[in-house]
Structure 1
Amino acid sequence: MTIALIIIAGFVLLGLFAPLVAPYDPDLADGSVKYLGPGEQGHLLGTDEQGRDILSRLIWGGRTSLIVALLASATSTVIGGALALVAGFSGDRVAGLIMRSIDIMFAFPVIIIALVLAVIFGPGTVVVVLSIVFSAIPYVTRVIFAEVKLQRGREYVEAAESLGAGFFSILFREVLPNVLGQTVVYGTGLVGGMIVFSSSLSALGIGVQPPTADWGRMISEGAKVIISGNVYPALLPGLVVLVVALAFNWLGDGLRDLFDPHHRRAGR
């Protein structure tokens, strides 16, 4: 988990201080220096098809990609967790209504939702965030709902009910603290997948629009010139997405071990 935290913190700091650490303007195109290899003419990681510095675009792209993934993951975790809490402690009619609605959301292809949102709002960050939230809420709700149902039968809940505690008091004072750990773990692990998903939408032209630097957009633009032998414009952002996504998954695994000592002992 320590390595994952170092990787994530490193990319977050690079994104925050992008104006200070990026060696070049990420959108500055120079046709005279196209397709430079790593280290050539002062460009540490080379340049892309428009002569833009790849390192600078990776740094600025991290700011965009991480903000989108973190915002969307946090929003979907909060909404999905709230739905799961209400469904888990409501009667069969309310719980059935919520969970059947979640099943319907599962049935919609995410790419279709993204395309519809792109038509309504126009391609951009809003489409990426809303698409990720829509796709993630069903998974979060299902996972947390199962845990809430498990907690509902515990003795501490029955004790609170026997003492006359109300619905919301039991929900937020008794149950929520006991499912918060798993919610945080799942939400953290979700970020890695959301980075990959947001990059995919940008690569398809639905997400972040040029000239804004974005890892998915960089992969898409670089892939067009791989056949000519220029692999760096696509390979480098692809590796960055892979490393950051894995780091968030490792962090989620570490938090799971931290919050769930039984799982940690079972893994030994």
Structure 2
Amino acid sequence: MVSLRTPQSDAVKVLRGPARRRKSRGRTNAQVAVALAVIVFFVLLSVLAPLVAPYDPNAADGSLKYLPPGSPGHLLGTDEQGRDILSRLVWGGRTSLVIAFISVTLSTLLGSALALLAGFSGDRVSGAIMRTIDVMFAFPVIVVAVALAVILGPGTPVVIAAIVFASVPYVARVIFAEVKQQRGREYVEASISLGAGFSSVLFREVLPNVIGQIVVYGTGLVGGMIVFSSSLSALGIGVQPPTADWGRMISEGAKVIISGNIFVALFPGLVVLVVALAFNWLGDGLRDVFDPNKRRIRA
């Protein structure tokens, strides 16, 4: 069979390769920039809530309940108690974002520490750690959250504890696989053969090479944990009224959807969706930045 390949076609493919890579990098950079812009916007909005919010988020007025979006003085309308939805969204970001950040930070630190220890320990210690992680996987998170709420009482600490319990196994599994892969690399074996100690190899050699994966996975985890914390608040386990929280706003709005007041749940739901998507985009973009070998060539 005669080949139709020509030197010109090969040259075109060679030129297209760098062009596609530049296009892929451009898309990744744009994705990260958009995600960061969205995240920074909501963080600043939450930090500046006392200055930005037009009303007290807990100020109720029965005569103003269920005002539709666009009503004078209430851009996004009011809820079943006559509270301004926009003000509650602004203040609710303080609760939802703080819970997500604290929970993911604790989960990432604890899960990564367990993974590093298991990856460089003997079979007994490594097996004990990873079997404990497997047991944590087996527990239904909602049941754990309910049990904690019964013991400690519903509130922010319960949400944080439940998220940490749910997230640590996933973080540990992902980082453990990366640590085991790095352990078999030549630079680690060379360091050990030169007499480097356990802590020296772990913190000077391995940790710098897995820190990118830790940052990427932790960043991507924030979006999912915002959704999860919102679901716990919606179940009444998390943040208690009258504190503004995106999850509780969705729960309260869902009760009145059947009456036609869809906007009460719609706006907080959209905010959770946008913020969670922004963190997922950021994590996906950082994955391409930290790991060039996994960069996708997009046509």
Moved over 2 A (4+): 265-268
Please give the residue correspondences for 1:143-162 in structure 2 after superposition, counting only pairs within 5 Å.
Answer: 143-162=174-193
Total equivalences in the alignment: 268
Structure 2 residue 89 is matched with structure 1 residue 47: no
Alignment of 1:1-268 (within 5 A): 1-266=32-297
Flag structure 2 segments of 5+ consecutive residues without an equivalent: 1-31
1:131 shift after superposition: 0.1
Deviation of 1:124 (Å): 0.3
Q: Which amino acid aligns with 1:163?
A: L
Q: How far has the Cα of 1:263 moved from its partner?
A: 1.1
Deviation of residue 266 (structure 1)? 4.9
The structure having more radius of gyration, on CA atoms, is: 2
CA RMSD of aligned residues (A): 0.8
Distance 1:177 1:263 in 2: 18
Which SS does the other structure have where 1:244 is aligned? Answer: helix
Question: What stretches of structure 1 of length at least 5 have no aligned partner?
Answer: none
The match for 2:17 is none
**Residues 161-215 of structure 1: per-residue CA shift (max 9 Å, x gap):** 0111100110011000000000100000000000000000000000000000000
Find the aligned partners of 2:239 and 2:264 in 1 and give their Cα distance. Answer: 17
| Residue type at the aligned position of 2:62 | G
Amino acid at match of 2:293: H
Question: Matches of 1:59 and 1:239 in 2, distance apart?
Answer: 13
Seen in structure 2, the aligned counterparts of structure 1 residues 102 and 184 have a Cα distance that, compared at 3 Å, is same
More off after superposition, 38-47 vs 80-89: 38-47
Question: Partners of 1:211 and 1:30 in 2: how far apart?
Answer: 14
Q: Show CA shifts across 1:3-62 (max 9, x none).
A: 100000000000000000000000000001000011213101000000000000000001
